[in-house]
Amino acid sequence: MMLKRTAVWLVLLCPVGAMAADAPPGASSCSGCHPASRTVDTPVKRLIGSNPAEIVAAVQAYRSGQRSATVMDRIAKGFTDDEIKAIADWYGAQKD
Amino acid sequence: MTGSPSRRDVLKTAVATAAAAATVPLPALAQNGGGRVVVVGGGFAGATCARMLKRLDPRIAVTLVEANQTFIACPFSNEVIAGLRDIKAQQFDYRKIADDKVVMAFEPASAVDPQARMVTLAGGTRLAYDRLVLTPGVDLRWDALPGYTEAAAERMPHAWKAGEQTLLLRRQLEAMPDGGLVVITAPANPYRCPPGPYERASLIAYYLKTHKPKSKLIILDAKDAFSKQRLFQNGWKELYPDLIEWVSLSSGGKVTAVDPASMTVETDFAKHKPAVANIVPPQKAARIAELAGVADRTGWCPVEPTSFESTLQPNIHVLGDACIAGAMPKSGFAANAQAKVCAAALARLLGGQKPDDPRLINTCYSVIAPDYGITVAAVYRATNGQLVEVQGSAGTSPVDAPKAVREQEAKLADGWFKTITGEMFG
């Protein structure tokens, strides 16, 4: 009982940003090119708050060559379908 | 730096120490469930790691130790050398990182005691840590090339750390008469920024072609192959025919000695007398890594690939150019990606959990001309204690891409720099 209460207390103490600790493998690298901030001047799309299904479809199309890419054709080949979905879901759930 | 410090460096340190004495806080104290992390080095790895860690778990007390108040980024500094960019575009400060409640200590670290878990700063301040992150970058090896000393670098710049050296090389190119010879020497692997010497050659060639077209550029290389080689060589053939000559190791490209007094660059087969000599010397992890006992006899730092913890000293993590990251190159993107993986691992370790099995990405842009970009990219995973490329993910831009793709990659390179520096300092 005591343990449980401590656990709840810890969860409450964790701010929203602490969720990022649970980012799926690979997700944290994306922000090297995909800006977290809205103010960065780059042609690269923001992933935060994007529709996960659209991210998955885009990455799969890059991987298969259906969609032309510069670097995403190669990066997409480094992830399985499950890994891509986990990353897309996580970015979709992130809020500004 | 390993040699005796110049007067300017001593002065700089003294000023930094005096400035820091007023601001350096008492050693961070352990907080409830948080822990104390000290990060030494505020570059692509260190600035990212400190900031991300604080965001992941604000209870962790994070101190970022950095000698300079202004960070000068190396990526895109080749454009400064070619006169295409102001060095101000390379400069960033740590104010936003401090706003995120990372404690800044603007002072060099002078010692690490891994047993006592204590970092000592140049001014004598001692910082206790639960986990230490070393991201010190590289030192140039002043003992590796006969004749190439710190004093020689004032005449024959390396420009391999952005700042005054970058501007010195720029000034020398500006002062050179049309018809002059530029020599760039490239070291054997590993070194900071594998495609860097070739991007630099490309952009200097761009400057020469547009301003001093009778000039010539020779790359003397200690290697027989280099990063993005076919793309660079195709670009040179297309844009700078007869201007760039690459001399490989097996063609006698290895530099054996330099003499700044007579401006001579020597190989086993030839003596070159360039008007401008850009010597990129062999490198190693910066000195603090050696002092902390995390560098091995190669001069670099072996790490375990899920948390980047040193395999030589517990509770010390090494990121970026200083570490041996398996197949990952020494790039700014790689350092930033490693820093985020390390930050997540530290948050878990300090919370009593195991780090996740990570995936990391590297993307590295080079520009051959302002509207001609190329890339190499790969995804990495930890296998048998090493970071290896995920099969099928590694590769460069197509060799036969149309002009529009090269233009797009040049634009994306610019966007990348803004994004990554925004994540670090914005």
The token pair that represents B119 in the structure block:
């970092």
Helix (H) or strand (E) holding B412: helix B403-425
pLDDT at B33: 65
B7-137+286-355: in CATH 3.50.50.60: yes
Residue in the structure block whose two tokens are 């399985």: A80
pLDDT at B15: 42
In angstroms, the separation between the Cα of residue B338 and the nearest Cα of chain A is: 8
Task: Report pTM.
Answer: 0.90
Q: What angle do CA B182, B186, B190 make, to 5 degrees?
A: 165
pLDDT at B29: 42
Instruction: Give the model confidence (pLDDT) of B342-376 as tens digits.
Output: 999 999 999 999 999 999 999 999 999 999 999 99
Strand partners, B255: B267
- For residues B121 and B412, give the distance between their C-alpha atoms in angstroms, rounded to a whole number: 39
pLDDT at A46: 96
B299: left (phi over 0), alpha (psi -120 to 50) or beta: left
pLDDT at A96: 81
pLDDT at A25: 96
Task: Please determine whether the domains at B7-137+286-355 and B152-282 fall in the same fold group of CATH.
Answer: yes
- For residues B255 and B145, give the distance between their C-alpha atoms in angstroms, rounded to a whole number: 8
pLDDT at B11: 43
Backbone phi, then psi, for B345, in 5-degree steps? -65, -40
Contact by Cβ (8 Å): B335, B321: yes
Boundaries of every domain in chain B: 7-137+286-355, 152-282
Burial of residue B352, with CB atoms counted within 10 A of its CB: 0-12 exposed, 13-18 middle, 19 or more buried: exposed
Residue in the structure block whose two tokens are 């944290």: A28
Does residue B48 belong to the interface with chain A, where contact is any CB pair within 8 Å? no
Rounded (10°) angle between helices B332-350 and B403-425: 40
Helix (H, G, I), strand (E, B) or coil at B159: coil
- For residues B41 and B339, give the distance between their C-alpha atoms in angstroms, rounded to a whole number: 12
* Alpha-carbon separation of residue A37 from A55, B419, B422 (angstroms): 18, 8, 8
Burial of residue B399, with CB atoms counted within 10 A of its CB: 0-12 exposed, 13-18 middle, 19 or more buried: exposed
- For residues B295 and B185, give the distance between their C-alpha atoms in angstroms, rounded to a whole number: 26
Nearest CA in chain A to B358: A25
Find, among B317, B352, B354, B365, the residue nearest to B338 by Cα. B317
Find, among B65, B289, B291, the residue nearest to B302 by Cα. B289
- Judged by CB atoms closer than 8 Å, whether chains meet at B363 and A71 is answered as yes
Its CATH architecture, for the domain B152-282, is 3-Layer(bba) Sandwich (3.50)
- For residues B107 and B101, give the distance between their C-alpha atoms in angstroms, rounded to a whole number: 18
The token pair that represents B193 in the structure block:
């920024």
pLDDT under 50: residue ranges of chain A: 1-19, 21
- For residues A7 and B73, give the distance between their C-alpha atoms in angstroms, rounded to a whole number: 43
- For residues B24 and B63, give the distance between their C-alpha atoms in angstroms, rounded to a whole number: 10
- For residues B141 and B279, give the distance between their C-alpha atoms in angstroms, rounded to a whole number: 12
Contact by Cβ (8 Å): B157, B169: yes
- For residues B349 and B345, give the distance between their C-alpha atoms in angstroms, rounded to a whole number: 6
List chain A residues with CB under 8 Å of B333.
Answer: 32
- Which one of B358, B408, B418 has the shortest CB-CB distance to A42? B418
Which amino acid does the sequence have at A21? A
* Alpha-carbon separation of residue A73 from A59, B361, B407 (angstroms): 8, 13, 17
Find, among B147, B143, B142, B144, the residue nearest to B262 by Cα. B147
Does residue B86 belong to the interface with chain A, where contact is any CB pair within 8 Å? no
Instruction: Give the model confidence (pLDDT) of B68-102 as tens digits.
Output: 999 999 999 999 999 999 999 999 999 999 999 99
- Judged by CB atoms closer than 8 Å, whether chains meet at A70 and B412 is answered as yes
Structure letter (DSSP) for residue B268: S
Strand partners, B380: B360, B389
Contact by Cβ (8 Å): A8, A66: no
pLDDT at A22: 82
DSSP H helices in B112-152: none
Topology annotation, domain A27-93: Cytochrome Bc1 Complex; Chain D, domain 2 (1.10.760)
Structure letter (DSSP) for residue B249: G
In angstroms, the separation between the Cα of residue A29 and the nearest Cα of chain B is: 5
Backbone phi, then psi, for A87, in 5-degree steps? -65, -45
- Which one of B344, B405, B423 has the shortest CB-CB distance to A70? B405
> In angstroms, how far is CA B370 from the centroid of its own chain?
22
Residues with Cβ within 8 Å of B233's Cβ and at least 6 positions away in sequence, in order, are: B246
Does residue A93 belong to the interface with chain B, where contact is any CB pair within 8 Å? no
Largest CA distance in chain A: 56
Does residue B418 belong to the interface with chain A, where contact is any CB pair within 8 Å? yes
Averages of pLDDT over runs of 10 residues in chain B (426 residues) are 45 44 42 83 98 96 98 98 98 98 98 98 98 98 98 98 98 98 98 98 98 98 98 98 97 98 97 98 98 98 98 98 98 98 97 95 98 98 97 95 96 98 97
| Reported ipTM | 0.88
Residue in the structure block whose two tokens are 């400190």: B50
- Judged by CB atoms closer than 8 Å, whether chains meet at B361 and A75 is answered as yes
